[in-house]
Amino acid sequence: MEDLQQVIKSFGLALVGTMHPRMMWLSLRPFLIVSVLWGCTIWLTWTPALEMLSTFLTTSMFTSWIQDGLIWAGFENARAWIAPLFFVMLLIPLICISLLVLIAFTTVPAIVKTVVRQSAYKDLECKRGGGLLGSLFYTLWSALICLALVMLTLPVWWMPPLVAVLPPLLWGWLTMRLMSYDVLAKHASVEECHLLLEKYRWSLLSMGIVSGLLGAVPTFFWATSALALVLFPVVSFIAVWIYSLIFVFAALWFSHFLLAALKELRREELEKALTVETRVIESELPYHG
């Protein structure tokens, strides 16, 4: 019950904190970087990628049934938009993963630095259980695992029920891993990090899934709206900024929750140490009965 109260309290603090101008800027910075990189990539690869996908979808025995099924269902012009739809669905997870990795590696430390300035955490000692190389390795390894899961499940993303379920689960899992590690890297020791991640595993996963559900809103729009295909350049920029803002909110949420949990863990350890020391002193005192 206490965990749930702390989750809700951290959610409220993160929601208020996201409205701060500095947080808005921290959401714009990765958005601009990712938008420029992916904008150039899409502009250079759009036409050849659509030609390759159209050929593959038409000739491959594994995918030709999709077009045949759509035509049988009454979508006679399916060939005109099935390749763009698949290309967009391939781009969605790649853009999301790259944005989340960029935010986790470059923006989360700045967010944690802002949060620890608040009076509730100002006395929190830095034990540096994680470093730059550890964060880089952990981030890339987690992203590769998530990308592999995305590629395995992508063929069923276009199905209406699953497009609202699979992205939140995948983004939630990746968000939990990246945010938890980067929030604790500077202030928690290795032992404290393991203890907190084990103790609050389900709370952190729930927070990640909720963040994933929020991030699934633009994903669902991209994957199911014909308007999103027509206005793809404009829609994609708006969606990327929404993703960025949601990930910044998630970073604030995990920061408030884990830093408060770390503070509570150290308070409990201090109380245990003082209790043990008191018992040792009492046992050493001479008995004058």
The answer, yes or no, to whether residue 222 has pLDDT greater than 70, is no
Task: Please say whether the beta carbons of 65 and 91 come within 8 A.
Answer: no
The answer, yes or no, to whether residue 109 has pLDDT greater than 70, is yes
Percent of the chain with pLDDT over 90: 19
* pLDDT, position 286: 58
* pLDDT, position 93: 80
Higher pLDDT, 128 or 274: 128
**pLDDT single digits (tens) 65-107:** 555 655 555 555 555 566 777 777 778 788 888 888 888 888 8
The DSSP string of the chain is -HHHHHHHHHHHHHHHHHTSHHHHHHHHHHHHHHHHHHHHHHHHHHHHHHHHHHHHHHH-TTTHHHHHHHHHTT-TTHHHHHHHHHHHHHHHHHHHHHHHHHIIIIIHHHHHHHHTTSTTTTTPPP-----HHHHHHHHHHHHHHHHHHHHHHGGGTTSHHHHTTHHHHHHHHHHHHHHHHHHHTTTS-HHHHHHHHHHTHHHHHHHHHHHHHHHHHHHHHHHH-HHHHHTHHHHHHHHHHHHHHHHHHHHHHHHHHHHHHHHHHHHHHHHHHHHHHHHHHHHHSPP--
Model-level pTM?
0.81
Percent of the chain with pLDDT over 70: 75
* pLDDT, position 38: 86
Q: What is the mean pLDDT of residues 197-217?
A: 86
Higher pLDDT, 207 or 286: 207
Higher pLDDT, 122 or 267: 267
CA 257 to chain centre: 15
**221 band by pLDDT with thresholds 50, 70 and 90:** low
The answer, yes or no, to whether residue 258 has pLDDT greater than 90, is yes
**pLDDT single digits (tens) 154-165:** 767 666 667 667
> Taking all residues of the chain, what is their mean pLDDT, rounded to a whole number?
79
Q: What is the mean pLDDT of residues 219-244?
A: 64
**276 band by pLDDT with thresholds 50, 70 and 90:** low
Longest dimension (CA), the chain: 99
Residue 110 burial (10 A CB sphere; 0-12, 13-18, 19+): middle
* pLDDT, position 261: 93
Nearest CA to 103 out of 34, 17, 171, 185 is that of: 34
**Euclidean distance between CA atoms 252 and 264, whole angstroms:** 18
